[in-house]
Structure 1
Amino acid sequence: MDAISVKGVSKHFKDVTALDNVTFNVRKGEIFSLLGPNGAGKTTLLKIICGILPPDSGEVKILGINVSEKPFEAKRKIGYVPQESIVYDKLNGWENIVFYASLYGLSSSQIRSRAEELIRRLGLENHVKKLVKTYSGGLRKRLSLAVSLIHDPEILILDEPTVGLDPSARREFWKIIEGLREDGVTVLMATHYMEEADVLSDRVAIINEGKIIAIGSPDELKKAFGELTVIEISVANPKPGIEEFLEEFTEGSILVKNNKVRIHVRGYESSLPKIVESLLKNGVKIVQVSIAEPTLEDVFLKLTGRGLGE
């Protein structure tokens, strides 16, 4: 039995198709990421899986339980951390945990033992007696995770869990998620961060405009990139329209982000000199040229013609 089964799920909001016949499964004990840009349908899909929104068609099962038919039974199997904060600023950390635990009907002894375990595990020992309004973004995320895990769910669902965190806090959060997987917790995570999906995931579903367009392990998806090579060029002065004067040299796509240009080509030995010549002729100062390994963003770019941040 899969931890999560999604079959033929569609959702419309007036004239907008948010989800279009989405089907996939999440295996027990794996970290499964939904990778896609903002507006791709990730949050809507997670809310349907959690029983917060009803689908227009299709079905969702949590450990074999139909979410539409037995929503309360299904929800007890899930811990859900949405994008927005779910903890209360005017309470301290301990009070937040106790409040959420009471919603699940835990006894006083269960609350204390489970809360102490989570506080220790999530590194909140020195903070639980402080008001949440004093917490950093990273501490707030860890407390949100604690209240979502208080009832010891088998499945954890995270919506953009590290948005707004600095790189150090983000990596600390990754370690926590990896530790949960080691304990057998199934994790379903929505993210638009390519590196996050690549580092953490056993499998990734790429979602765009409400449709799943590819599913596989990060390595499988990158191998499917095929015979194309990624040329990465660091430039001192990226110019508007740089894609246009490089387009004739590519058989794939071009992504300009910050001061880096990633170009997908077939046969880079012949393409690279022409690309460099074109950049110099158009007044672009080249800092470094390298041949790069394809990333999940390159896969997304190949499949959709646009980057994850566009």
Structure 2
Amino acid sequence: MLTVQDIKKSFNKKEVVKGVSFSVEKGESFGLLGPNGAGKSTTISMICGLLAYDSGDILVGGTSVKKNPSEIKKKIGIVPQEIALYPTMSARENLIFWGKMYGLSGSKAKKRAEEVLDYVGLKDRAKEKIETFSGGMKRRINIGAALMHEPELLIMDEPTVGIDPQSRNHILETVKELNQKGMTVIYTSHYMEEVEYLCERIGIVDQGKVIALGTRTDLCSRLAGGTVIKLGLSQLKEEFTNQLKEFEQVEKIVTDHEHSSLEIFVKSHQNAVADIISAAIGAGLQVVSLELQEPNLETLFLQLTGRSLRD
């Protein structure tokens, strides 16, 4: 369905996308995971033909975005990070407008708007103006607008930012259902748990590059340690951190100076916890908190970059 081949993009001589490559199969749900500023939205804009890429190529259904952007746009539904709706128009009027923008006839747009309103769970609010809606309801209509022309590929860029839990769950279930019905989905987020729930394969993006690509199981198997010990201390001492590095079971340590805490990747936590606490006490440090965390995409990203996804 989609092939991204070594695309690059610079703004004012600063390269923000640095040779990104990945592919998405028809009917797949693919996640792009990374912190804000990683290059996810820029990559999405280039896939949709909204932004020209400097080099490389992007193929949608075998057709180059650069050579035939108008054909590509008919196949893609885009849910942007920002709300793209007219606030003084009703939910129904917005959907009909965007349906016509996608090339639907007036009667087809009206019929499809009713189907979409039902799908996003807002048929009873169809006549109300968007400006009266909550953030979560606006997001749901935003998704509805992208579904009006029944696209082959749905691209969602951070669709749950800043919304209430109920709307967030509704959006996640809607995306899941669309994918199960055969729609190809690309879902970008810096919320690891959303991508883990929705996506079969995942690309982790950081500083304009894809730094890891595969299934969740594949990616988590790359973790150096089997468990992460999150240790909060009264203060950090370099000699204590250096002492931990000498422990046989310790694979890697990530230091958070702002919060006086350590993320300690270990082979097994069974013996490691007691040894680490003893060492802390011996170094004259007070253990403020201790948490064991099983490997997930958050810990993989932390290990690969030394930063949290939400930094």
Give your verdict on TM over 0.5.
yes
Specify the code of the residue in structure 1 equivalent to 2:286: G
Q: What's the C-alpha RMSD, in Å, of the aligned pairs?
A: 2.3
Partners in 1 of 2:6 and 2:295 — Cα distance?
Answer: 31
Match of 2:124 among 123, 126, 129: 126
Aligned match of 1:306: 307
Aligned match of 2:286: 283
Specify the code of the residue in structure 1 equivalent to 2:7: V
Conservation of the 8 A alpha-carbon contact between 1:88 and 1:132 = yes
Query: 1:294 Cα deviation (Å)?
Result: 0.5
Partners in 1 of 2:280 and 2:88 — Cα distance?
Answer: 56
Partners in 2 of 1:72 and 1:65 — Cα distance?
Answer: 11
Residue 124 of structure 2 aligns to a residue in which SS? coil
Query: 1:279 Cα deviation (Å)?
Result: 4.7
Aligned residues: 303
Query: 1:103 Cα deviation (Å)?
Result: 1.2
Aligned match of 1:268: 269
Query: 1:229 Cα deviation (Å)?
Result: 2.3
> Which stretch has the larger CA shift, 256-265 or 161-170?
256-265
Query: 1:169 Cα deviation (Å)?
Result: 2.3
Query: 1:108 Cα deviation (Å)?
Result: 2.6
Partners in 2 of 1:37 and 1:162 — Cα distance?
Answer: 15
Give the TM-score of the pair, scaled to structure 1: 0.90
Partners in 1 of 2:239 and 2:139 — Cα distance?
Answer: 42
Query: 1:166 Cα deviation (Å)?
Result: 2.7
Conservation of the 8 A alpha-carbon contact between 2:91 and 2:127 = yes
Does residue 160 of structure 1 match 2:158? yes
Partners in 2 of 1:201 and 1:254 — Cα distance?
Answer: 28
Query: 1:6 Cα deviation (Å)?
Result: 0.4
Specify the code of the residue in structure 1 equivalent to 2:300: V
- Judged with a 3 Å threshold, the aligned counterparts in structure 2 of structure 1 residues 131 and 55 are, in CA distance, closer, same or farther, namely same
Query: 1:84 Cα deviation (Å)?
Result: 0.8
Specify the code of the residue in structure 2 equivalent to 1:263: I
Specify the code of the residue in structure 2 equivalent to 1:94: R
Give the TM-score of the pair, scaled to structure 2: 0.90
- Judged with a 3 Å threshold, the aligned counterparts in structure 2 of structure 1 residues 145 and 265 are, in CA distance, closer, same or farther, namely same
> Percent identity among equivalent residues?
38
Partners in 2 of 1:136 and 1:114 — Cα distance?
Answer: 23
> Which stretch has the larger CA shift, 20-29 or 223-232?
223-232
Q: 1:64-111 CA deviation, whole Å, 9 max, x = no partner?
A: 111111000000000001111101111110110111111123123311
Conservation of the 8 A alpha-carbon contact between 1:246 and 1:278 = no
- Judged with a 3 Å threshold, the aligned counterparts in structure 2 of structure 1 residues 244 and 67 are, in CA distance, closer, same or farther, namely farther
Conservation of the 8 A alpha-carbon contact between 1:80 and 1:156 = yes
Q: 1:33-65 CA deviation, whole Å, 9 max, x = no partner?
A: 111111111011000000011110000011111
Conservation of the 8 A alpha-carbon contact between 1:247 and 1:254 = no
Partners in 1 of 2:134 and 2:239 — Cα distance?
Answer: 43
Gap regions ≥5 residues in structure 2 = 245-249
Partners in 2 of 1:103 and 1:216 — Cα distance?
Answer: 36
Conservation of the 8 A alpha-carbon contact between 1:6 and 1:61 = yes
Partners in 1 of 2:127 and 2:239 — Cα distance?
Answer: 57
